[in-house]
Structure 1
Amino acid sequence: MKTEFKIKSLLFGLSFIAANYMTAQTNQTSNDTINNQTAATAQTSGVSNPEIEGLKQKIAAKPDDTQSLVGLATAYQNASDWTSAIATWNKVTAIIPDWAPAYYSIGYANQSAKNNDGAKMAYEQYIAKVKPEEVDANKQNLAYAYFFIAFLDKESNPEKAKQYIAKSLQYDSSNQDALNLSKSLMN
């Protein structure tokens, strides 16, 4: 009897979820509504732990504290909360738009969230923002950013992919994935 009750309760709950899903799929919303909902979700969703809460309090007191913002974005990444990490890294780039590592981190978080287009755009910005005097310190990240873009563009833009994989190998000639991609692009 208890098992039958549990099954009925489970089915009843699932019916509510299905009904809400169907409503969400059939309701039309404007882009402004979607953007506002996304922004609200980015601010309120996510993982919480003492480190994140402490950093949020510091940022609430001083919103332009880039050190705390970077710490918060990193803490979100460590907790695999990609949406919050991206939103926080974007706050960093709004304050310091020429700081290349933030764009690399946005690319990484987007890639981890399976948003390859967002990752590609961020990695392209990262590549453009690395200053000549910073290249040596950023070789590994540059190699990966170029590789990722080449990988995504191998079908749609093979010439760009060839150029980017050559750049990737220039920065890291030992990356086996990049070497394999380079060989496949040459065929």
Structure 2
Amino acid sequence: MKTEMKSLMFGLSLVAGSYLTAQTTPTTNDTVKMETTANATGTAVTNPTIEALQKQVATKPDDTQALVTLATAYQDAGDWNSAIATWNKITAIIPDWAPAYYSIGYANQSAKNNQGAKQAYEQYIAKVKPEEVEASKQNLGYAYFFIAFQDKDTDKEKAKQYIAKSLQYDGSNQDALALSKTLMN
């Protein structure tokens, strides 16, 4: 069972890894204020791919690979509420799988729910295992940056600590560097 779980985790990390890295490519402060035109009303989005995945998940509700693919399809379609709900199902099955929390943060941020995004990014940071840190540096850097940005006006000391961690993981992030300079003034 332990070997099967490791295989599942490895497989899921491969499925989500390239997608999660792609989520960090926008690095401007505009990302923090991200606006979405797709599904701003919360209406469920459907297409043949999503419908097929929904059927697959309906027959095997604990199929984490299908759930990850469905959550990703919802995100690709801009259906942030369905994406969040699906990522939450994944965390119920695999509560220690950090990438799901990062994706919940990303989807909440895209849905303009910065408080939900902040909470999810905090969970992501807490869930990353020491052996996963190297592969997760860019996402960790962004998660710390986002939280620092959210806290800059309400908890300047926490924001300073988080921006320092952000730069520790991704020293090339220009927005993190700019925020760091702002916080030091």
TM superposition score normalised by structure 2: 0.77
- CA deviations on 1:18-57 (whole Å, 9 max, x unpaired) are xxxxxxxxxxxxxxxxxxxxxxxx8xx5111111111111
- Of 100, 103, 107, which residue of structure 1 is paired with 2:101? 103
- Between Structure 1 and Structure 2, the one with more helix by share is 1
Aligned match of 1:167 = 165
- Mapped to 2, the partners of 1:63 and 1:174 lie a distance apart of 41
Aligned match of 1:130 = 128
- Mapped to 1, the partners of 2:83 and 2:120 lie a distance apart of 13
**SS of corresponding position for 1:97:** coil
**SS of corresponding position for 2:180:** helix
Q: Percent identity?
A: 79
- Mapped to 1, the partners of 2:91 and 2:102 lie a distance apart of 11
Alpha carbon RMSD of aligned pairs, Å? 0.9
* Off by >6 Å, runs of 4+ in structure 1: none
Aligned match of 1:71 = 69
- Mapped to 2, the partners of 1:183 and 1:62 lie a distance apart of 50
- Mapped to 2, the partners of 1:85 and 1:149 lie a distance apart of 21
Q: Relative contact order, CA 8 A, sep 6+: which one is greater?
A: 2
- Aligned residue-pair number: 144
- Mapped to 1, the partners of 2:172 and 2:93 lie a distance apart of 36
Opposite residue 56 of structure 2, the aligned amino acid is: K
- Mapped to 1, the partners of 2:73 and 2:131 lie a distance apart of 28
Computing the radius of gyration from Cα coordinates, the structure with the larger value is 1
- CA deviations on 1:148-180 (whole Å, 9 max, x unpaired) are 000000011000000000000001111100000
- CA deviations on 1:89-141 (whole Å, 9 max, x unpaired) are 00000000000000000000000000000000000000000000000100000
- Of 154, 161, 168, which residue of structure 1 is paired with 2:152? 154
TM superposition score normalised by structure 1: 0.76
* Gaps in structure 1 of 5+ consecutive residues: 1-41
